[in-house]
A and B are shown apart, each in its own frame.
Chain A
Amino acid sequence: MENDISAETPARVNFRNPTLLGLAASALLTVLVIVGSRNLENFDSALFGYTIASIVAFGAIVFRYAVWLQRPATRTYFKRGLQLFFQKRKFARNAAQAAKTLATNLVEQRFIFKRSKTRWLMHGLIMWGCILAALITFPLVFGWVHFKLEGDMGYRPYLFGFPAGPALEGRNITAWLMFHGLDISAVLVIAGCAIAIHRRLKDRGAIAQQQFLLDFVPHMLLLAISVSGLMLTASSLWFDGYMYAFISLSHQALVIMTLFFLPFGKLFHIVQRPASVGVELYQKHSQEMSQAVCPRCHSVFAGQMWIDDLKKVVNKLGYDYRMENGQTLQDYCPRCKRIMRGLAYAAIADRSDKVFAGTRGNIE
């Protein structure tokens, strides 16, 4: 790790590679759909709209992710995270640590619990509802899973065209739960969105900062999807399919809008958040390596590797915080930066000025 931070040209966003990556991702998913559904033999043509939308959205997400990785800071964390993860002798330990971070951050979401318990409940309901729904719908939409009727009431699931497990009895509680999986997920999401919207209407801090497109639209889309989904069940169960085609079309339109909204705004955190596993790995490693010592107060305040990487990023962004004494401003701890500014401020006043004389007479 060299400390050289000689001036480089600030990074420019390049759209060519992300576009190619996005197209490649869409093409790959198309191939997987064709192969996984056995040349579309098991493909449900009623879900064609969803399939196309998923393929396009997947490409768009990959494009957005690739553009995001061009941010100098993101790039540094990404590269360094991979480099640290694949260190030869530490691989097993890193994998165990990453698994643990994954469990506490992404499954248990302890950090959200620390932010607020209601927020944790809200987020848990929406997240698990969406994950449940995604696990059910995407394999069906891609034709990877289908069911065949066996005997009077048995359903046998097929995965990629291969029989997966025994035929399921169609009239017991397990089957009922399975067939109503999407209704259950809808109830979870509606409850979560209700908590979120309640908070956004009541909390002063939230009211001041929220934006309609960023903070309300995602909840409204999720609510609309859930409600229209439940209406489909209601229509077929209790109203003899009344308005089924219309509700089905509306549901599809809403889902497609949400899929296309994924790369933008709030929902992008779904694909972005897992990066926190890499960041935590980076921080842990950086704590175990040599530490940066503030040149002024001599306190240890961060990992040296991190500060060196940060200085390179800052430099790449076009800032130059190098000082006359050979240090860079980022070498100092946050508190010393504040005090140095205070001292610099205090040094400005001309001490021979009359104002300093006060009532004791002149200062010579």
Chain B
Amino acid sequence: MRQETMFVDPQRCIGCRACGAACRECSTHKGYSMIFVDYIDRSETTATMPTICMHCNEPTCAQVCPADAIKQDENGVVMTALKPRCLDCRNCVNACPFGVPKYNSAMHLQMKCDMCYDRTAEGLKPMCASVCPTGALTFGKYEDVVPLRRTKPVNIHVFGNQRVETKVYLMLPTDAESVEVNSRDSGIDPAIHESWIDTQVEDADKSNEF
């Protein structure tokens, strides 16, 4: 039987940001949300992309940490940086392919989603999954989630030449095998500029400072 993990379904996300508000309640990073809900192209659509830590099997953030402060637990959860070690170098913030880790320079500290370690250790759902009204963020076992959805859980991303396998699943159309962040048709042509309204987001969302 597989372990419980998160299932992210962006097409269900209505951008209510309840997850972010709930995330602030987590005991391991009290008062700070570690979730991002970004508009993907606000001049065209109201669609939002919720981003939580995907908990990579081979986490780039942990590898680029000079202080060896980011550890993976035995279940594959990539933990937030160890407080005595983190040097606030922000390598992880810029190396993470998903843009997840946050930092605070005054505290010399990186923090990231650790799948609500304090709650899951006690058999509770992570904060975000317990409040998401649409099931865009769901916590459960693979075999329990699959029959409930017409979409398929996939845990493979391809960023350029790099294949990244994660503990967290993304719900995709049944014929898709992975998300590929690479080619021009996925909307990342450098010639395409953001619309004005897309740039009008809070600074914290841009810089990942919490």
**A to B contact number (C-beta, < 8 Å):** 223
A348–B151 Cα gap in the complex (Å)?
A: 12
Q: Contact between A320 and B162 (Cβ–Cβ < 8 Å)?
A: yes
Given the complex, which residues of B lie within 8 Å of A307, measured CB to CB?
Answer: 94
**Tally of contact residues, B, Cβ under 8 A:** 83
Q: Chain A residues near B96 (CB, 8 Å)?
A: 334, 337
Residues of B within 8 A of A282 (CB): 89
Question: Complex formed: what's the CA distance from A314 to B164 in Å?
Answer: 14
* Residue A327 lies at the interface, judged by CB distance under 8 Å to chain B: yes
- Which chain A residues (323-347) contact chain B, with CB distance < 8 Å? 323-325, 327-330, 333-347
Which applies to chain B's interface (DSSP): helix, strand, loop or mixed?
loop
B160 and A208 contact, CB distance less than 8 A: no
A205 / chain B contacts, CB cutoff of 8 Å: 26-30, 118
B188–A296 CB distance below 8 A: yes
Contacts of A275 in B (CB 8 A): 66-67, 87
In the assembled complex, which residues on chain B have CB atoms less than 8 Å from the CB atom of A319? Answer: 60, 63, 162
Contact of A338 among B38, B161, B192 (CB under 8 A): B38
A266 proximal to B (CB < 8 A):
yes
Q: Using Cβ atoms and an 8 Å threshold, which residues of chain B touch A334?
A: 93-94, 96, 99-100, 207-208
Complex Cα spacing A348 to B201, Å? 26
Q: Is A244 an interface residue (CB 8 A)?
A: no
Contacts A204-B27, A313-B64, A345-B10: A320 and B160 contacting too (C-beta < 8 A)? yes
- A272 lies within 8 A of B49 (CB): no
Is A118 interfacial (CB-CB < 8 Å)? no
Q: How many residues of A contact B (CB 8 A)?
A: 71
The answer to whether A203 has its CB under 8 Å from any CB of chain B is: yes
Question: Which residues from 17 to 63 on chain B have a C-beta closer than 8 Å to any C-beta of chain A?
Answer: 26-30, 36, 38-41, 47-49, 51, 60, 63
Any B CB within 8 A of the CB of A299:
yes
Residue A115, interface by CB 8 Å:
yes
Tell me if A350 is interfacial: C-beta within 8 Å of chain B.
yes
* A261 beta carbon closer than 8 Å to chain B: no
Selected A-B contacts with CB under 8 Å, 22 pairs:
A73-B66, A114-B107, A204-B27, A205-B27, A273-B87, A282-B89, A296-B194, A297-B198, A299-B199, A310-B94, A317-B60, A323-B159, A325-B189, A328-B160, A338-B49, A338-B51, A340-B187, A341-B179, A346-B47, A346-B187, A348-B176, A349-B11
For the complex of A and B, the 3 pairs showing the least CB-CB separation, nearest first, are A342-B49, A334-B99, A208-B118
